[in-house]
């Protein structure tokens, strides 16, 4: 398994890896958003709807997941509770590549 390193040679955090995906695949078109989600799933194994909105600039993650499924990707949806930046608990989707 490849270990991703940041510029300082330290193991990259999940947020750093999401930011890297965003930098490598820019654009606002739905195909660009789908490509970012696909990269996140391939490189991280899973991505939450919260991460899609917060770090990948994917406004409607369920629609992009639908696009990828239509293209033949096998993606499962799991559920998790997260605390938002405002301190509220939200139930969000966790997309897992199969």
- Per domain, the residue ranges of the chain are 14-97
19, 55 contact by CB (below 8 A):
yes
Q: Looking at per-residue confidence, does 84 or 47 come out higher?
A: 47
When the pLDDT of each residue in the chain is averaged and rounded to a whole number, the result is 92
93 CA to centre of own chain? 11
pTM equals: 0.86
pLDDT of 9 > 60? The answer is: no
What's the N-to-C CA distance of the chain in angstroms?
17
Rounded Cα distance between 26 and 4, Å, is 20
- Which CA distances in Å does 74 have to 40, 61, 93? 14, 15, 15
**Which residue is it, tokens 């991280």?**
44
18 CA to centre of own chain? 7
83, 65 contact by CB (below 8 A):
no
């Amino acid at each position: 398994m490849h270990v991703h390193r940041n510029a300082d040679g330290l193991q990259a955090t999940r947020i750093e890896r999401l930011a890297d995906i965003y930098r490598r695949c820019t654009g606002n078109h739905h195909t660009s958003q789908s490509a970012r989600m696909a990269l996140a799933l391939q490189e991280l194994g899973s991505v939450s709807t919260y991460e899609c909105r917060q770090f990948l600039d994917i406004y409607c993650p369920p629609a992009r997941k639908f696009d990828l499924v239509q293209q033949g990707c096998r993606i499962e949806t799991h559920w998790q509770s997260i605390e938002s930046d405002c301190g509220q608990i939200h139930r969000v989707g966790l997309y897992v590549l199969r």
